[in-house]
Amino acid sequence: MFYREAGQFYTTYAKDQGIFQLKQDKYGLWGLLFFAFLVVPIGLYLLVQGGVMAGTTKDYLYNSILLLLLVNCMAAMGLNILTGYCGQISLGTAAFMGVGAFTAYKFSTGMNYRVQKEDNAGELVSTLVPILPQIDNPIALILLAGAVTAIVGVLFGLPSLRIKGFYLAVATLAAQFFLVWCFSRVEWLYDYTSSSTIQIPLLKVLSFIETGTITFGMPDGSTKAVSVSGFLVAGSETLKVPDGAKTIVSASGFILTDFSKALSSPDASRAVTGETFRIYPVPETKYIFSLAIVVVFAFIMKNLVRGRIGRAWMAIRDMDIAAQLIGIRPLATKLLAFAVSSFFCGVAGAMLLIFYLGALEGAEAFNINESFSILFMVIIGGLGSITGSFLGAAFITLTPIILINVQPAISDVFQDKALVEHIQFMVFGALIILFLIMEPLGLSRLWQIAKEKLRQWPFPY
Amino acid sequence: MRLKGLTLGLAAAVAATGITAPAVQAEETQFFPFFTYRTGPYAPNGIPSANGMVDYMNYVNLKWAGVGGVKLVWEECETGYNTKKGVECYERTKGKGTTVVFPYSTGITYKLIPNAARDKISILTVGYGRTDASDGRVFPWTFTTPTTYWSQASAFIKYIGAQEGGMDKLKGKKIALIYHNSAYGKEPIRTLNLLERKFGYKLTTLAVNHPGQEQKATWLQIRRDRPDWILLWGWGVMNQVSIKEATNIGFKMDRMIGVWWSGAEQDVVPTGDAAKGYKAGTFHAAGRDFPLFKDIKKVVYDAGKGLPGGEKFIGQVLWNRGVVNSIFATEAMATAQKQYGVKRVNGDQMRWGLENLHITAERWAELGLKGFMQPIKNTCADHEGNGPVLIQQWDGKKWNIVSDFITPMREVVRPLIEKSAAAYAKKQGITPRTCS
């Protein structure tokens, strides 16, 4: 009744080719974006200010749910291009994400290499020498990560011209193992740290905008302000406490501050000299950033798949010989799918490092289980569907978290922690099977059926 | 005090000058989150560790009605030894008044270190984690008490030297390191390489990938190389497999030394009698013959208030270590209570308590653990507390201590820690605080 095209006329070709044929869909999407970009951050902020929600609950929502969800959406979109639209099964998604993360890390730290020399005492002295200036702009890092991953993806996509189906899956599995081996063995990738972990340094955007002020109280009663510029996205920044300051009068802006070393020690009454304090990014900045990236790439993907390129991918997926006969070049088409898919995965990997984890260990963060879980997202969400990528990512990411949060209720009954955890695994597994039996084509198909039903409502024929 | 201001284009936010600790919960309790793993490939080791931590806190509540009259409350969060799940645990429990976390995973520790100062939550890693975080000037919020992997590696070399009849006899000896291919397993390599240059032994490093069941290639290489000594740096199911493989190729078990995470009952029992003679590092005594452990059995388990099926773990190596973990936390809390004259301690105060943690021999005796551990003393610059290392040996039934307390080569390890911490500080733009 409400969800119907009746009365909607298109008077130009451009309008007729719009992404959304129904005004309801279009406005629905705008509403969703409005909700995600404005209602979520402002609403949560107001809830915290109003005392309805604890500040830490808000941090929890951002840091461990929303950011992870966005990263997973991005990765699922990437894999969906390759597997869902072009029909090439890949088990190397996590490794490609890893390439993105390590590219972002290497560019953010200036592509260091190590020079080792023996000093006079015969001890080995190693120094790191940067060969490029450090990049502290997350957008640049993410695009570079995507570009480098696209190249790596094309290299590993080359066998797809000769092998298909499960055999290709095995070939991409090789990419998974080889790249993860690199992450834990090629010392250059992790700057020769003893533990092979990487940690993203300070990243900042829009450094020319003043985003916060911290006012210090001086002994003579006057105040002195230190201003903060730019939006911090990752890492933390060290600032100087004005010499002689005694108290902090106020702090405001898009920052989290830590005065642990400067003014909160047991003898806080003393005036300080030469001390520093650190500022950290707020989760809101990370969230808005990740969301914007995901939205932009979803838009790009939507337009890719409904145009010539997407149709070529789908033709190859449905029957490659027939596609070749109608003039689609398999080489270029498949490799392009690998390139674009890897670009997306690389972006997802860089986002994982920059926005979500901050510090990670390559072999652990990008192991084979991650590849599988992204493949499950795509399958459960729906192959060949952008909505499906989002729904699948949401299902795989959120279900365990929801189950964990209802866990205390079960714990009281069973007492045994391990049993409760195993029950959670079983419930999750059962849900996956249930959904696949109900709708083998994925959650996006369910959504589509719901829309069709809605069109006929209340007069089904 | 931590100040947090947000505007988000709506309103300019808050200010505070003094102490504004949010009173999240009732005044008389102190909250501790436990990041545990009772499932997955690391569960055999995770369960006794978790039980030890919980049992001691439970005991303190039942016996002493908490610490300084403050009841201890806790929540277990299953990480499965997975960093992402660990992050979720950390964020979820943060709001309940967390002052200190025990990640029980080197990977999760690395991830949490950058957050610690921001959230005012200390990270206490008892015998694991990031070694160079022992430098309290660069890492004020991270504690590696009582000792670290680098210290342990140097102690092992010292022990091997003693067994060979002198450090000069190490020259030309072949030592193989079999390690878990992760941040955890890689920790000792740098120290062992440095000592290799110093003492002239030959080090071979052999990585085993998570979760560690697949080690055929590793042991093939061991058979080819015929090392004089094997050091094992494993965890979970990897230990069991390694020890079994070593017996399969007939390696002399008393020349195989495991890290303290590779020396628990769970690791040797599956191999049976063949594991006899296998050695492992530790930093506390083995067994259940201590007054405290007997009392825990009486007060907690005999009263029917223990964890289901938990009684059999009492006195096991990892259970004992879990107890040590909780003792450090409660002792630090008591130290902070005394210093600040408060009941419930906040993040800053807990950090101070950990930094000034001092458990003397008398205090160990008071706790009912005479001779269980060496005295521990942390300082502002040294968060390791310089705990010495013991070697224990499996006799087919139980672990026995077979060495004296071995002092690590501090003159080698400490400069390494300071250099590594300084490099980290430089990279992250941290100005190390002064400790004087």
Q: Looking at the domain assignment, is residue A23 inside a domain? A: no
Task: Dig out the tokens for A208 from the structure.
Answer: 């020319």
Most confident of A148-152, A416-420, B274-278: A148-152
Phi/psi of residue A205, each to 5°? -125, 160
Strand (E) positions, B221-340?
A: 229-233, 256-258, 279-282
A378 pLDDT above the threshold of 90? yes
B187 vs A194, A249, A401: nearest CB: A194
pLDDT at A2: 72
Residues B300-341 pLDDT 10s:
999 988 888 889 999 999 999 999 999 999 999 999 999 999
Q: Scanning the structure block, which residue is given the tokens 């390191």?
A: B177
Last residue of a domain, one of A281, A313, A331: A281
* ipTM for this prediction: 0.86
Q: Looking at the domain assignment, is residue A1 inside a domain? A: no
**A98 with A220, same domain?**
no
B17 pLDDT above the threshold of 70? no
Q: Rounded to 10 degrees, what is the CA torsion of B34, B37, B39, B40? A: 160
Cα separation of B56 and B63, whole Å? 10
Cα separation of B389 and B284, whole Å? 8
**A299 with A416, same domain?**
yes
B110 vs A252, A361, A401: nearest CB: A361
pTM of the shown model: 0.89
Q: Looking at the domain assignment, is residue A369 inside a domain? A: yes
pLDDT at A344: 97
**Does A307 contact chain B (CB < 8 Å)?**
no
pLDDT at B1: 32
**A318 with A413, same domain?**
yes
Based on the structure, what is the number of domains in chain A?
A: 2
How many Cα atoms within 13 Å fall on the side-chain side of residue B187?
28
pLDDT at A316: 94
Going across the sheet that includes B100-101, the strands are: B100-101, B122-124, B142-143
**A191 with A340, same domain?**
yes
Q: A338-347, B58-67, B381-390, B405-414: lowest mean pLDDT where?
A: B381-390
A124 pLDDT above the threshold of 80? no
C-alpha distances in Å from residue A34, one per residue of A31, A41, A292, B325: 5, 11, 12, 48
Q: Looking at the domain assignment, is residue A444 inside a domain? A: yes
pLDDT at A303: 93
Confidence of residue B5 (pLDDT cuts 50, 70, 90): very low
Cα separation of A78 and A102, whole Å? 18
pLDDT at A210: 81
Q: In this structure, are strands B29-36 and B71-78 parallel, antiparallel, or unpaired?
A: parallel
A 186-245 residues with CB < 8 A to B: 194-197, 199, 201-202, 212, 214-215, 217, 235-238
Q: Looking at the domain assignment, is residue A25 inside a domain? A: no
**A51 with A106, same domain?**
yes
Residues A194-237 pLDDT 10s:
888 899 988 988 888 887 777 777 777 777 788 888 888 888 88
Provide the terminal-to-terminal Cα distance of chain B, rounded to the nearest Å. 22
A257 pLDDT above the threshold of 60? no
Cα separation of A104 and A112, whole Å? 13
Q: At how many degrees (to 10) do helices A308-318 and A330-351 cross?
A: 110
Contact B183 A212 (CB under 8 A): no
Last residue of a domain, one of A245, A262, A281: A281
Residues B107-152 pLDDT 10s:
899 889 988 878 889 999 998 889 989 999 899 899 998 889 999 9
Last residue of a domain, one of A281, A310, A332: A281
A421 vs B38, B94, B431: nearest CB: B38
Residues A267-294 pLDDT 10s:
444 455 567 777 888 888 899 999 999 9
Q: Looking at the domain assignment, is residue A19 inside a domain? A: no
B58 pLDDT above the threshold of 90? yes
Contact A237 B76 (CB under 8 A): no
The residue in chain B having the minimum alpha-carbon distance to the alpha carbon of residue A249 is B17
**A417 with A318, same domain?**
yes
pLDDT at A65: 92
Q: Looking at the domain assignment, is residue A4 inside a domain? A: no
Contact B7 A253 (CB under 8 A): yes
The residue in chain A having the minimum alpha-carbon distance to the alpha carbon of residue B7 is A253
Chain B positions touching A421 (Cβ under 8 A) are 38-39, 78, 80
Cα separation of B169 and B140, whole Å? 40
A258 vs B2, B87, B190: nearest CB: B2
A253 pLDDT above the threshold of 70? no
Domain span holding position A55 = 33-199+285-456
A 59-88 residues with CB < 8 A to B: 59-60, 63-64, 68
**Buried b or exposed e, range B203-214, using 16+ CB within 10 angstroms:** bebbbbbbbbee
pLDDT at B20: 38
Q: Looking at the domain assignment, is residue A8 inside a domain? A: no
Cα separation of B280 and B318, whole Å? 12
- Assess contact for B251 and B222: CB atoms under 8 A: yes
CB pairs under 8 A between A and B: 208
B78 vs A45, A236, A421: nearest CB: A421
Q: Which residues contact A56 (CB under 8 A, 6 or more apart)?
A: B91, B94, B95
Mean pLDDT for the stretch of residues A422-436:
86
The CATH number given to whatever domain includes residue A120 is 1.10.3470
**A325 with A431, same domain?**
yes
Strand, coil or helix: what is A322?
A: helix
pLDDT at A273: 59
Phi/psi of residue A441, each to 5°? -85, 5
Q: Give me the domains of chain B, ranges plus CATH numbers.
A: 29-148+287-388+415-428 (3.40.50.2300), 150-286+391-408 (3.40.50.2300)
**A48 with A156, same domain?**
yes
Chain B positions touching A249 (Cβ under 8 A) are 15, 17
Residues B197-225 pLDDT 10s:
899 999 999 999 888 888 999 999 999 99
Q: Scanning the structure block, which residue is given the tokens 């790596």?
A: A152
**A100 with A142, same domain?**
yes
pLDDT at A255: 60
pLDDT at A243: 74
Q: A423-427, B60-64, B230-234, B298-302: lowest mean pLDDT where?
A: A423-427
pLDDT at B317: 93
Q: Report CA B180 to chain centroid distance, whole Å.
A: 16
Burial of B411 (0-12, 13-18, 19+ CB in 10 A): exposed
**A266 with A357, same domain?**
no
Interface test with B, best of A97, A112, A255, A417 (most B CBs within 10 A): A417
Q: Report CA A222 to chain centroid distance, whole Å.
A: 45
B282 pLDDT above the threshold of 60? yes
**A360 with A406, same domain?**
yes
**A426 with A334, same domain?**
yes
pLDDT at A294: 97
Dump the DSSP string for B210-227. Answer: TT----HHHHHHHHHH--
Contact B183 A260 (CB under 8 A): no
Burial of B434 (0-12, 13-18, 19+ CB in 10 A): exposed
Q: A79-88, A90-99, A430-439, B228-237: lowest mean pLDDT where?
A: A430-439
